Each structure stands twice: as C-alpha cells, then as structure tokens.
Amino acid sequence: MEFRQFNRMADHMDMFHSNFRITWNMLYSACESQKRPKGMSIRQFISTGQQFCHHLTVHHTIEEEHIFPVLAKKMPAFRKELELLTQHKQIHIGLDKLEKYLEECSDGERELRMSELKDILDSFGKVLWQHLDDEVKQLGAENMRKYWTAEEIRRMPM
C-alpha cells in the first residue's frame, strides 16, 4: 500500500506519457513506411499530429505551472535550471516546427511529405523519449520517499 501511495504520481504521469508514445509511434511508423495507417485520411493524420502537439503543450504547461513548482521545493530535478525543464525547452523547439509544418499542410500551403515529417520528428524525438522516461523515474516511489512523507504525497496536486 505504501509503495502505491509513493508511486502514485509516477503511475499517473506514465499514463499520460503512454498516450504520447502511442501517437508518436503511429506518426513515426507512417513516416518510415511512407504510408498513413490503414483507413486514416490525410486530414485525420494531420489532425492527429496537431492534437499531439496541443496535448503535449498543455501537459507541459500544467507541469510547469502547477506540479513542478511544488516538487521543486524539495526535489532539485524539478528546479527551473535543471534537466527536466531544459528538456521541455528542447522538446518545444521541435514541437513548434512540427506544429507549424502540420498547420501549413492542413491549410494547403504545402504538401505533406513523410520524409519531411520524419526529419522534424527526428529533431526532438530522442530528447522527448528521454524526458518521458526521466520524469516517471523522478516521480517513482524509490525517489519520492527520499524527499516526501506519505502525508505530503497525499496532498500533491496530481
């Protein structure tokens, strides 16, 4: 029971991250195979990519405004100048390119090319996947126990 309590934030975060991984893998597989998933129109494919950008941006905004400041009081990894927020900045450079590209494709300003999409995804994929893993690891029970009491964990905003 105590492990579950201390691992609650990691479990919760991993649920969100799993959804990001699933969408990323679908987009990336389409780039590698040079074809969209069966039964998915170009419009749906582009829209899925745009939703990915939006959801990841909202997710990071919530973390940065509501969750990281609480964690940063005791956990150095969540302080502004350190790894996790640096990763957010690096991810958003690529995410902004992705969002702009998909918007131009959606508006008909340019044609969707899987090779171009893959180049954009490759520009931030490594840091994104590292970040998804690092965050969950930081929020894992073993690490949370070092910084927080069970009562403090219960009061966390997540």
- The total of structural domains in the chain comes to 1
What does the pLDDT look like over 9-63, one tens digit per residue? Answer: 999 999 999 999 999 999 999 999 999 999 999 999 999 999 999 999 999 999 9
For 62-94, the DSSP string reads: HIIIIIHHHHHTT-GGGSTTSHHHHHHHHHHHH
Place of tokens 């995410």: 95
Q: In this predicted structure, what is the pLDDT of residue 81?
A: 64
- What is the C-alpha to C-alpha distance for residues 82 and 13, in angstroms, rounded to an integer? 19
- Bin 42: left if φ > 0, else alpha if -120 < ψ < 50, else beta: alpha
Domain with 43 in it: 2-154
- Predicted TM-score (pTM) above 0.75: yes
What does the pLDDT look like over 56-106, one tens digit per residue? Answer: 999 999 998 999 899 999 998 888 766 777 888 899 999 999 999 999 999
Q: Is residue 157 scored above 90 in pLDDT?
A: no
Q: Is 9 exposed, middle or buried (0-12, 13-18, 19+ CB in 10 A)?
A: buried
Q: In this predicted structure, what is the pLDDT of residue 27?
A: 98
Residue type, 26: M
Q: How far is CA 38 from the centre of its chain?
A: 25
Residue 98 · residue 49 · CB < 8 Å: yes
**Phi and psi, residue 112, nearest 5°:** -70, 120
